[in-house]
Amino acid sequence: MLNQLEPSELIELFVRFPPYNFNVRKNNDLILFETIFDILTTADESIAKKLGFLEKIPGLNRFFKPNATFVGTTVTEYLVLPEIDEKQFVDSIFENWNTEYLIVKDIPKDSLLLSDKENAYSESLIRFLKERGFIILTGQALAYRLIDFESIDEYLMKFSQKRRYDFRRKLKKKSDLKLEIENSGNSFDEVRAAEYYQMYENVYNKSYIHFDKLTPDFFKGLLQSDTLGAKIFSYYTKTTGELIGYKICFQSEDILIDKFAGFKYPQALDFSVYFVSWFDNLQYCIDNKIKKFVIGWTNPEVKAYLGADFNFTFHGVYPRNKLIRKALRYLARYFESDKNELERFLNKK
């Protein structure tokens, strides 16, 4: 399979236990899912605020929240697909398509995390999708960090004095926390799995993007698997022993992928768990000679502040309605929120 960074078992869990309101199917080893898609999800914040009220007007809800078919998954960083020719790929995804939008999501481009062969295939696929009438949008910004340093102190020296001071101030919270790193498996009984899922829900409910909500069965299958090899970084307070945060990661060859998180609020904020976990993950990479740390999609401005680099993915969007297809070619830039957010952050620096 091309572009695959995660274990195959994680992808199979997505197929067996899809997110709420997702209908997942396979076609020629391609994974597709249908769901209701809020088109303002990826809109620039200013546009989303201006148009948000229109969603509540009777008759317009269907326009802003159409049924859409997506090619890919929401648990892989990139579009994972078999090595088939572009025509076969497009013919396969159009087969049995009966929703208002067809979206090929998370196509990588010039990724340092992938091989030259994989990047070349993506370039060719994007060109072919354009020829078939798809509008190509800049998608989410995948955050990553190359481990080109040998210590956290060396890493900190890459930043300005002001930012180093801020980092070290927050890292003082680390002394109040106890970190436990364990593998997925039998230690996660029903009670623990339920607690970890509740903390995942806390993060989901606090997020400004609500697209895919994973199910308790998915989480239980992930945490209890003794073959998946997930690395769970759990944070407890030293004073009370209370679990207040965790990160679920996957280690593959020379890559550590930060995949899922759960927090208790306000405790996790009070103890700066997200911030501390960033540096603990970097230290884990150093200790285990891992050269690439992948930190996912959300909150690009925060991750840029912490020192992440980014690889933008691309979406191929094909609206069934010809008028919408034509309009989207002119309005595409307003639906590239990650790109716009990062540009604003860099302009402020």
**What is the per-residue pLDDT across 307-317, written as a single tens digit (0 to 9) for each?**
999 998 999 99
CA-to-CA dists, residue 12 to 9, 26, 108, 205, 222, angstroms: 5, 11, 21, 25, 10
CB-side exposure of 313: number of CA atoms within 13 Å? Answer: 24
Q: Which of 45-59, 129-143, 191-205, 308-322 has the lowest mean pLDDT?
A: 45-59
pLDDT at 131: 93
Looking at the chain, the whole-number percentage of residues with pLDDT higher than 70 is 86
Q: Span 115-125, mean pLDDT? A: 94
pLDDT > 90? residue 283: yes
Instruction: For residue 141, name the pLDDT band (cuts at 50, 70, 90).
Output: confident
pLDDT (average), residues 32-39: 88
8 A C-beta contact, residue 296 and residue 259: yes
Predicted pLDDT of residue 28: 78
Query: In which band, very low, low, confident or very high, does the pLDDT at 342 lie, cut at 50, 70 and 90?
Result: very low
The rounded percent of the chain whose pLDDT value lies above 90 is: 70
Higher-confidence residue of 331 and 199: namely 199
Segment 160-171, tens digit of pLDDT: 999 999 999 999
pLDDT recorded at residue 40? 61
Q: If residue 309 lies in a helix (H) or strand (E), which one and from where to where?
A: strand 309-319
Give me the pLDDT at residue 325, please. Answer: 82
Report CA-CA distances (Å) from 140 to 167, 226, 264, 296, 340: 26, 32, 26, 9, 10
When comparing pLDDT for 57 and 219, which is higher? 219
Using DSSP bridges, classify how beta strands 243-252 and 230-237 pair: parallel, antiparallel or unpaired. antiparallel
For residue 64, is pLDDT > 80? no
Average pLDDT over residues 31-45: 76
Number of Cβ within 10 Å of residue 142's Cβ equals 25
Domains and CATH numbers, the chain: 8-141+312-348 (no CATH), 148-290 (3.40.630.30)
Q: pLDDT tens-digit profile of 194-218?
A: 999 999 999 999 887 778 999 999 9
> When comparing pLDDT for 56 and 244, which is higher?
244
Instruction: Check whether 189 has a pLDDT greater than 80.
Output: yes
Using the predicted structure, report yes or no on whether residue 86 has a pLDDT greater than 70: yes
pLDDT in the model for residue 346: 46
What is residue 137's predicted lDDT score, i.e. its pLDDT? Answer: 87
Provide the pLDDT for residue 332. Answer: 57
What is each CA distance from 13 to 31, 109, 225, 246, 256, in whole angstroms? 12, 26, 10, 20, 20
Contacts of 342 (CB under 8 A, 6+ apart): 141, 300, 301, 304, 310
Measured in degrees and rounded to the nearest 5, phi and psi for residue 244 equal: -125, -5
Tell me the pLDDT band of 186, cut-offs 50, 70 and 90: confident
Angle at 341 between CA 64 and CA 256, to 5 degrees: 100
Q: What is the pLDDT of residue 233?
A: 97
What pLDDT is recorded for position 128?
A: 94
> How much is the pLDDT for 345?
43
What average pLDDT does the segment 6-10 reach?
Answer: 95
Tokens of 47: 């546009």
* Residues β-bridged to residue 144: 294, 309
Mean pLDDT confidence for 14-43: 87
Average predicted confidence (pLDDT) for the chain: 88
Number of Cβ within a 10 Å radius of residue 343 = 11
Q: Give SS3 for 227.
A: coil
